[in-house]
Amino acid sequence: MMRQAVGASAPTLENFYREHRSWLENWLRCRLGNAWDAADLSQDTFVRVLASQHSEPLHGLREPRAYLLTVGKRLLINHYQRRSLEQAYLQALATLPETVIPSPEQRWVLLETLQALDELLDALPLAVRRAFLWAQLEGLSYAQIAERLKVSERTVKRYMAQAYTHCLMLEP
């Protein structure tokens, strides 16, 4: 797919890819400590960069490597986030009694939903995120949340308003 995308576009794209690919992959491998994920992420990075070239034409890039790194870093953070969510999820699954373990399909649907929500809540400060999750998932009252977080109920209200506003702004 990658090759087609490159081949079908201007030759500058192919050059761009050839010139920087192994450099980016190397950079990612240093961070990830494994070659497979690095190759995957470097592909993703190029796909993103190519997809966005309408708004920022490649030949107009003054520092292509800096630009690649910006995109690469964002993907790297997402990668770590997905990975850590997945790990926590699998660990929680493993501790469930057998009778309540969801079916394999349900498990994946659930993981995808959780990943989407994780991304949605990502930019929120930890305390705000916790307050919101406790209210939504555990049905805690604001007073109970205030007690757990050792803050006032007023603060909890502010946290909840912040979380709702954030989610409503981001949700399509």
Cα 49 to Cα 5, 72, 164: the distances in Å are: 12, 10, 32
Which residue in 27, 38, 41, 45 binds other proteins (CB under 8 A)? Answer: 27
The single-letter DSSP state of residue 97 is -
Output the smallest distance, CB 117 to other proteins, in A: 6
Distance CA 23, CA 9 (A): 22
Output the smallest distance, CB 101 to other proteins, in A: 10
Which residue in 37, 130, 144, 155 binds other proteins (CB under 8 A)? Answer: 130
Question: Under rule CB under 8 A, how many of the chain's residues touch other proteins?
Answer: 50
Count the alpha carbons within 13 Å of 119 in the hemisphere toward its beta carbon.
Answer: 15
H or E element: which one contains 161? helix 153-170
Structure token digits, residue 52? 């966005």
Distance CA 17, CA 7 (A): 11
Between residues 40 and 153, which has the closer beta carbon with respect to other proteins? 153
Q: Are 122 and 84 in contact (CB under 8 A)?
A: no
Quick note: the x/- pattern for other proteins over 38-67, rule CB under 8 A, is ------------------------------
Q: Are 87 and 57 in contact (CB under 8 A)?
A: no
Output the smallest distance, CB 36 to other proteins, in A: 15
Between residues 51 and 93, which has the closer beta carbon with respect to other proteins? 93
Q: Which residues bind other proteins (CB under 8 A)?
A: 27, 30-31, 33, 69, 73, 76-77, 80-81, 84-85, 87-89, 91-93, 95-96, 100, 102, 110, 113-114, 117-118, 121, 126, 129-130, 133, 135-138, 141-142, 153, 157, 160-165, 167-169, 171
